[in-house]
Each structure stands twice: as structure tokens, then as C-alpha cells.
Amino acid sequence: MRANPRVARMTRSGLPLLIALTACGAPVLDGDTATDIEAAPPRDADGDPSFDEPTVEEPPDGMPHADDVPPDEAPPNVDPLLGCTALAPATLPASCPFTNELVVYGQEGWNALADALAPSLSPCTQAFISIPPRNDDKTLVREGQAALMRGRGAQLHPMAEFHFTTWNRLRQEQGLSWRELGMRFREEMERQGYCVEAGDTWAINEAPSALRKDAAFRAGFAELLGGLAEGRPGMPFVKGAVFIVGFGHRSTNLPVYKGNVKRALQDADFWVEANKAVRFWGQEVYVDPQHACVAGTSAAERRALVNRYAMHPHRLSVVAPDAAGANTAQSFLGRAYVPVLNAVWDAAPERGYGDTTVPLLQMQRFVRAQVDAVRSYASSNAAPDGRIGFAFASYHDPQEWAALGATIGDALAGAYGEGGVAADACGVEGCACVADSAASNPAWDAFSSW
């Protein structure tokens, strides 16, 4: 993501690998202030929402994430069509509780995470890992990376990152239609060896907060989705992923944000089009240990602390009255919603992932607790079924990516593997994470009613 100049830039040793990333933003305003903390986006000279800078919604744990990515390394020495064969429909063991789908945004370390996940994935799991564009031109897909990902086995699928800010700027500069933008990206995917037939797909990164604020923007965005899914005439149709700007867990002043979400849910025309093109609707919900790892809580209480935030868009859609016209969105979210959780270790609050400056053991328990909570929610609700996402990195030491990746893989194998139940996510470390001074944030209970 594009770095906000007010945010200290990350070192390369601390770059995040995300399982669904977006720019965060807006001031935390406690109390009954009427200040609009999620105002309509600024517009350019043509009247379009302007996205040259990410919308700041909520510092400190809603700050935009830095846009540093690794240098444009030489392409790997691999056949670009390696593994490009038609993917046979997966036959899951009958004991799989769900088809488990892990949706990953990768900023750096996507190969390290894939290496850690590959040996631990149960036969019930498929992993979809986003690979960022080239540094020198973010309309260009990295060479050879799709084949490298496919070469690890049929359960790992590369997703080409569509960098929204860069592509939208190109649209404005060249006067392109939204649909043409999507078709051009599909051409670039093909040039760099992405193979839709093998399960490869696309992922929009930095889908802005205008999606919930601006009906005209949603109409254009729907055209973009159509272009990405359909491609040029003769290209195979493929649904992809969208990663949407979120709102920080520590927020307490939510009326404006909730109002924007409600209005977006009522835009039935948009959700009809999204349903045609989107497989994974990834909402940034970076759970904060400071509001989830509260000492002395029971397993049920800890699940509630996670899910009141992680599942808030779905929870709101479920309680919408029929008269509100949100039924279409409710149906879509039931099929496509992906909560993007938090496995970014040792991140200070200004990093944008809450405060994960906890010992490694507590971080591993925290990761497991989130899997346990979302798996539990899925057992009694229409979403998210087996879909789950994570932001993943280590600001402490990137050499620990392997340990954190293995923790995610083991937690998924327990909760979503053959015969698995939610509590099986807890593994050896357990799920009873504890963070100093952690306390519940009941503000998110507001999403339990319309």
C-alpha cells in the first residue's frame, strides 16, 4: 500500500505479508461528538473520488500500512506454465466440516508463508495467496511467481494483485472505462503465466472506503469487477477477491461508520453485480489483542470478543429488516464474506494492526483464538463457512514467519481438518491469550441491531 507521509516507513525486515490488506484510517473520537469520522471521499476535477492518498479513518490502529515491497528481483528460473493444467474438482473427505479457504494478501514473504503452509494443510483446505505487482510499475505483474506458487502443489493458488490506486490513476489519465481496466489486467496476468484453469485468480488491493460511502463509485467498481472476471472475449471467466478498507478494533465512536455500512448494504444493484464476479469479499478486521486477550475470560467469552468485531458486517446484514432492502447483500455475504484477521506479530499501534507487542507464545495463542472464534461462529451462522483470512508478518524478526505460518496451518488443520471442531484450533499452545491491560470494547455490539 501507498505509504502515508505521516507514518514512519517500515524497514524491509518488518514488511507485512497480509492475508487481506487495505489502507486503514480515521480519528478515534470518543463520546457523543457529531464529527463525521468517515466523510465522503474527496473528488477530482472530473467529479470522481480521488484516491491519490489513502483515506485516513482512524489513527493509531487504523493508520495506512506502508507501501514498501521487496526490490524487483530477477524472475525465478521456472517454466512460467509449470502446473498450468485444468484443475480437477476437489473431492473432499466426507469428514471435512467445511471446504476451508484461506485467502492471503502477500506484501513480502509470500513464498516463505507458502513454504510453511504447504506441509501442514489438511485435505480440507485450499490456500489463495496474493502476490504484489512490480515495484517500478504497479500495473505490471511479477514474472514467474504464479508458476512458483503452483509448483508447491494443487492446494496453493496464486492471486495477481490489482493495485487499485495505481490502476485507477491510469484510468483517469487515459480516460479508460472501468471495464477496460479490468480486461487490461487480465491480459497482463496471462502474459506473466497466471493460469485460471489451474485455480489462479486476481485480487483487488486497496478497495477504498468509497465502496461504503458513494453509490456512484460502487456502480463504477461493479464494472471493474465485471472486466476482471470476464476478461477479453475468449478468456475463461474467473471470480476473484476484493480486499476492503476497514475500521480499527479500538474504535468507540461508530455511528457514522455504521450508517455508511447500512447504506451500502441496501444497494441491491451493486451486490447483484458483485455476486457475479467476486469469490472472496475480504473485510479488514484486524482483531487487537488489547480487546481480545482479556485475562480470566472463558472460551465462550473470548470468542464473543473476537466475533463482535471480526464478523460485524455480516452481523449487521443479518439483522436488517426486510423493508431495508439488504437481503441481496445478506445473501452475498453469506456466500463470500471473509474476515481478515490478525497474525502480525510485534506491531506497535501506529503500524495499523492494533497492538501485538506480546511474547511469541501469546501471539501464537492469539492466532489460534481467532481461528477458534471464527470457526465457532461459522457453525451456527450462514457465514463465513470455511473462509478465513489473516494479516501475517513479524516486525520482531521476519525469520519467525515460518513459526507463525506453521501456527496458522496447524490451527486451520485442527479446526477445519477432518472431524475438526472449533476448539481443535487451540493445539498445544492453547487459545487463552493474555495481553497486559487488555479490556473488552463493547462498542461493536452496536452491529447486533439495525
Residue 67 in grid coordinates: 507501501
Domain assignment of residue 5, yes or no:
no
Domain assignment of residue 6, yes or no:
no
Domain assignment of residue 438, yes or no:
yes
Domain tally, the chain? 1
47 contacts: CB under 8 Å, gap ≥ 6 = none
**Which tens digit of pLDDT belongs to each residue from 224-243?**
999 999 999 999 999 999 99
Residue 326 in grid coordinates: 439488504
Domain assignment of residue 78, yes or no:
no
Range 283-312 average pLDDT: 97
DSSP 395: S
- Count Cβ neighbours within 10 Å for each residue of 100-118 and write b for 16 or more, e otherwise: bbbbbbbbbbbbbbbbbbe
Q: Above 50 in pLDDT, residue 58?
A: no
pLDDT at 87: 81
3-state secondary structure 134-192: CCCCCCCCCCCHHHHHHCCCCCEEEEEEEEHHHHHHHHHHHCCCHHHHHHHHHHHHHHC
Domain assignment of residue 423, yes or no:
yes
**Which tens digit of pLDDT belongs to each residue from 328-374?**
999 999 999 999 999 888 999 988 889 999 999 999 999 999 999 99
Whole domain around residue 132: which residue ranges? 12-28+38-73+91-448
Range 321-330 average pLDDT: 94
User: How far apart, in whole angstroms, are the C-alpha atoms of residue 205 and residue 245?
Assistant: 9
Half-sphere exposure of 175 (CA within 13 A, CB side): 0
Domain assignment of residue 127, yes or no:
yes
Range 80-94 average pLDDT: 87
pLDDT at 372: 98
User: How far apart, in whole angstroms, are the C-alpha atoms of residue 256 and residue 258?
Assistant: 5
pLDDT at 206: 83
Q: Is the dihedral of CA 58, 59, 64, 65 positive or negative?
A: negative
User: How far apart, in whole angstroms, are the C-alpha atoms of residue 98 and residue 94?
Assistant: 10
pTM of the model: 0.87
Half-sphere exposure of 291 (CA within 13 A, CB side): 26
Domain assignment of residue 268, yes or no:
yes
CATH code of the domain containing 431? 3.20.20
Sort strands 100-105 and 387-394 into parallel, antiparallel or unpaired. Answer: parallel
Q: How many CB atoms lie within 10 A of CB 237?
A: 10
Domain assignment of residue 1, yes or no:
no
Range 391-418 average pLDDT: 88
Q: Above 50 in pLDDT, residue 13?
A: no
